[in-house]
Every structure is written in structure tokens, then in C-alpha cells.
Amino acid sequence: MPVYTAPLENIRFVLHEVLDANALTALPGYEDSTSDLVDQVLEEGAKICSEVLFPLNQSGDEEGCVLENGVVRTPKGFKEAYQTFIEGGWTAISSDPEYGGMGMPQLVNTVMQEMISSANMSFGMYPGLSQGAYEALHAFGTDELKALYLPKLVEGIWSGTMCLTEPHCGTDLGLIKTKAIPDKEGAYDITGTKIFISAGDHDLTENIIHLVLARLPDAPEGVQGISLFIVPKFLPDGLKPNAITCGSLEHKMGIKASSTAVINFDDSKGWLVGKPHKGLKAMFSMMNAARLGVAMQGLGIAEVAYQNALVYAKERLQMRALTGPAEPNKPADPIIVHPDVRRMLLTSKAICEGTRALSYWVGMNLDISLKHPDQKTREEADDLVALLTPVIKAYQTDMGFEVANLAIQIYGGHGYIAEHGIEQYARDARIAMIYEGTNGIQALDLVGRKMPQNFGRLLRRFFHPVSEFIEQHQTDESMQAFIFPLAKAFSKLQQATAMIAQKGLKDPNEAGAASVDYLRMFALVATGYMWARMVKAAQDKLETDADGREEFYESKIETARFFFAKMLPESDGRFKAIMAGADPVMSLKASGF
């Protein structure tokens, strides 16, 4: 049976010793969110994740969701778990107190998303989609819509979805055909079919609030003609059924306990969210929240897969250590003595701890962008979040799948069979690389939109602090093993940025062909930057007061040493691939494939 324990010690290290998350208490509305309170909340969150959600993960995968006579049923135990979840207020953590939320920092919600994804990624889809609907309504809904829907979403007795994709269009939303016809009462009749709708129908809540992209009769072609509508499964006035049906459930590779539905709208009543033909902007408020959530899914799967691989590697006896018996009193040594197993475990550990620091840094800047009283500071933080969102979405989901595969490899044949529950992590992790914008789309977003935006202003929000950190610590002898490789990789990232910017202006294919390698290179440097910061924090504690946690801090430094020596060099290969240009990718005619 798989195991999971929330990595609270590692979480607290990043929050309090690397990022100083307590500084958020200086922001308006966050005054009470002290380190002590945050720790208490996360300890309770860890309990519900490990004691309520995690025990349902494997059984939920085996049972899946069922559609019977137009009604969707979630796996056994999910309804009870969801009721426990909302009674604990976990749908309200970072929501606006005006609508019943706790008003805690978004960073706390980011941490919870990691733990929920580790415990039960399928379960996390239901409140996760509601969060996206909440964000869009909170930002673009009228006061009447917000007063009607937000309290129910925050309480968790209503849930939300994002209805974007149609059978003939995925990423290219300009092709959507769903229609919205105004009626005489100020509402709209919505007609169309949406597919791949996560949490599209289920039995967990009394109502499901669909946020639907559709076209008005006078809509211009393309994405400039998209509007956003709120279309409830049951009409708020008396909860009478709306003209919405679940056509089918998708049979999927993973996240089987999450109902991925085909939803049919047949003159369904809906209300406009935001301005006509401006649905794309509102949609991105949902998408950005969702992409951050998906990044945490990648981290969450990586963490639980690593934990299980580590337990197995310490218990499984196979052969002897290459240097002689490590445990001569046993018939064989545990496989953790073998160099290749250690390589896989260290890779997994470095990914989990490095990307945790990176994504929490993004989460903290999200709070600054929302709450800081100084406009310039808010802008700088918002720029950093916008820049790093595609980076962490793509990299952390790639790495979530990578670590899940490494766990299977460590288990060997026992990882490939279903009994141990390890193969589920690879199946569940795979979708995160696809939905909310495939990782190739994230790379295009980075080089095509974020890189040139405001003449490179977003890039400077990242380049400047990295450059300052390198300059500040380049003469520190204890940091040389970390600062020198970081500086080298950072310099090449800057060179690659300049090359893509220059060549991409003349030929967009140059930017497109380099985009995936560039995003990976960017992610490696960003993760290296966070590892260097963690090393500095660990060294400071060892030099002052480790409080009996010397082994913990030494482990951080040694894992960082592995990252810089064995993982960051990948950026050299990515740099060479970028500098090779687009010709190796684009020269072959389509008929030659």
C-alpha cells in the first residue's frame, strides 16, 4: 500500500527560513496570518489530506466515476470526504471575507494545493475548478452575480467548472461555436457542446456553476468575439433544473475519480460575466489560477511518488553494495546503497524541494501583487507571477511525470503492477502536462508573449534578483560550489534570450523552435536560484542555531550539491539546441515524415 506524510518540515523551511512568509502580515488584510497561525492551518490541512483524502486515492482510481440515467456518481467515500472538507473551511482559505472566506494569503492556498494533489489528485479537481470559477467571478462579475454565487462557491455547497473546449477546438478558442442569444429578461440562451470538462458533473454539491465561453450574434470572428457566461446546472431561484445535460464521461488514462464530462447546453439560461466580446480576458483569470494549481499538481505527484520510492529503497533487499556488504547481517543490502538508485532518489528529492521553493516564491508574489499598497511593487510582483506561471506549469508537470516514472523504476516490476499503487501516479501525472494549455503552449507563451512584453520588462523582474544574488555572494567561499555554476547557466540563459529575441523578430519559427528548450533552461536556472537561496539559509542556520536539526540543513546542502553538479548541466545542452536555430526542426518537408 502506498504511503503519504505531508512534508511539513520542508514546507516550513521554505516559508519561514527562505522566503520569510511572515512578511506578508504587513499587507492589508493579512495582518493576522502570522507564521504561527499559518503553521497551525497547514498542520490541520495535512491531517485531512493524509487521514481523509489519501485513503480514497487508490480505491477512487479503481472505482472511477459512473454516469447512470443522466446522473454522475463519484466513487465510494468521496461525498463524505467532500462534506468533511467543506465543513473544515478548506474551500474558503484565501477567499474574500466579504463572501465568507477566511482571507488568508494565496500562498497558504498554494501549499494546500500541493498537499491535496499528493493525497488525492482526483479529489482536488473538484474544489480546484471551483477556485477558478471563483476567481473569474470575483474579478469580472457584477455585484449582483457576486452576491448570488460567490458565498455558495466559497462555502463549497456549490462548485464551479470552466467550459472552454469544444469537439472541434482545443487551444484555438477562436473556433468555438457555442451560441449565446439574448432573451427579453436580460439573460441569454446558451446552446452548444463542451468536452473535457473537469468536474463537469458529479454528486458532491447541490449545484454546479458552469463558466462558459460562447459567441453573441454580433460577435466578430476569432478570439475577439468570445464572451463569458455563467450557466448554473440549477437555476438559483428555487434550484429548478437548467437545460444542461451530461452527455457522457470520458474513459481516461488517469484521474479516474475526477468526472471529466461532455456537457450539452440546449437553450440553457446564462448571464454575461464581464463585457460582451471580452471573455478572453476573463478566461485568463481562470486559466492563470488553474495553471498555478496544475503546477502544484505536478509537485504534489512528485512528492508522494518520491516518498514511496524512498521507503521502498530503504526496505527492498537486492544484491550487495559495490564496495562490499553494507548490512552483512542481512541476506542482501537495501537497494538505496546502489549508485543508480541513489541517483534516481536524489533527482526526485532535488526536484521536489527545488520546485517547492520556486512555486512558493511565485505564490508569495501573487499575494504581493494583490495586496501591496504601493502600485509599483504590485506591478513588479504581478510581472514576476505572469512570467513564471508558464515556467512552473510546464516544468513542474514535466517533472511530476518524471519522478513518478523514476518511482516505478525504483520499484521495478512491483511498480508496474497496480497492487502497490505506484503506477497510478504516472497515469495521474500525465494529464497535467496537457490540460490548462499543453506544455508546448506554455513554452510559446513564454517566448511569444511574456519575453517581449513591455520591451522585456517581465524578464527583468527575474533577471535582476538573480543577478543581485550572484553578485552579493560571489566572493563567499562557502557558496562557490553553487554560485559559480548558477552564474554560468544564468549567463547562457541571457545569451539565449537575446538570440531568440533577435532571430524571432525576423522569423517566428526561430522562437517557436527554441521555445521548449528555452523554457526548460529557464526553469533549471530558476530552480538553481532557489536552491542557492536554500543553501544560504541552511548555512546561516548551521552557523548560528540549528536547534538540533543539523542533519536536516546538511541534507539541503548536499542535495543542492547534487542539483548543481548533476542536473543544472542539462542547461548546457538546452543552450546548444537553442543556438542551433530553427532549420533542423523546419527544413524537412511534411511529405518527408
Does the predicted TM-score (pTM) go above 0.85?
A: yes
114/173 same-domain check: no
177/134 same-domain check: no
Residue 350: closest CA among 65, 544, 163, 566: 566
571/458 same-domain check: yes
74: pLDDT confidence band, cut at 50, 70 and 90?
Answer: very high
> pLDDT tens digits for 82-106?
999 999 999 999 999 999 999 999 9
In a domain, 363, yes or no: no
Q: Find the mean pLDDT for residues 265-288.
A: 89
Domain boundary among 262, 277, 292: 277
End-to-end Cα spacing for the chain: 45
In a domain, 530, yes or no: yes
The whole-number pLDDT of residue 200 equals 97
474/459 same-domain check: yes
Q: Find the mean pLDDT for residues 149-158.
A: 98
147/195 same-domain check: no
175/70 same-domain check: no
Instruction: Let me know if 593 is exposed, middle or buried by CB neighbors in 10 A (0-12, 13-18, 19+).
Output: exposed
Q: Find the mean pLDDT for residues 357-363.
A: 98
Q: Into how many domains does the chain fold?
A: 3
223: pLDDT confidence band, cut at 50, 70 and 90?
Answer: confident
166/134 same-domain check: no
82/161 same-domain check: no
CA atoms within 13 A on the CB side of 75: 20
Residue 366: closest CA among 347, 345, 383, 349: 383
Domain boundary among 88, 122, 151: 151
Quick check: is 436 catalytic? yes
The whole-number pLDDT of residue 285 equals 72
Query: Where residue 20 sits, what CATH number does that domain have?
Result: 1.10.540.10
The whole-number pLDDT of residue 290 equals 85
The whole-number pLDDT of residue 280 equals 83
473: pLDDT confidence band, cut at 50, 70 and 90?
Answer: very high
147/15 same-domain check: yes
266: pLDDT confidence band, cut at 50, 70 and 90?
Answer: very high
> pLDDT tens digits for 375-418?
999 999 999 999 999 999 999 999 999 999 999 999 999 999 99
The answer to whether residues 72 and 261 touch, using CB atoms and an 8 Å cutoff, is: yes
Domain boundary among 123, 151, 179: 151
In a domain, 502, yes or no: yes
Angle between the 457-473 and 508-543 helix axes, to the nearest 10 degrees?
Answer: 40
Catalytic, out of 114, 135, 423, 436: 436
287: pLDDT confidence band, cut at 50, 70 and 90?
Answer: confident
pLDDT-above-90 percentage for the chain: 94
The answer for 454, left when phi > 0, alpha when psi is -120 to 50, beta otherwise, is left
In a domain, 518, yes or no: yes
Query: Which range of residues forms the domain containing residue 254?
Result: 157-277
The whole-number pLDDT of residue 193 equals 97
163/136 same-domain check: no
> pLDDT tens digits for 154-201?
999 999 999 999 998 867 777 899 999 999 999 999 999 999 999 999
> pLDDT tens digits for 20-49?
999 999 999 999 999 999 999 999 999 999
The whole-number pLDDT of residue 284 equals 77
In a domain, 413, yes or no: no
The whole-number pLDDT of residue 283 equals 79
In a domain, 86, yes or no: yes
For 455, the 3-state DSSP assignment is: helix
In a domain, 25, yes or no: yes
Q: Find the mean pLDDT for residues 266-270.
A: 97
145/202 same-domain check: no
Does the pLDDT of residue 238 top 90, yes or no? no
In a domain, 206, yes or no: yes
The whole-number pLDDT of residue 92 equals 97
Q: What is the 3-state secondary structure (H, E, C) of 388-452?
A: HHHHHHHHHHHHHHHHHHHHHHHHCHHHHCHHHCCHHHHHHHHHHCCCCCCHHHHHHHHHHHHCC
> pLDDT tens digits for 481-526?
999 999 999 999 999 999 999 999 899 999 999 999 999 999 999 9
77/209 same-domain check: no
The whole-number pLDDT of residue 1 equals 86
The answer to whether residues 320 and 338 touch, using CB atoms and an 8 Å cutoff, is: no
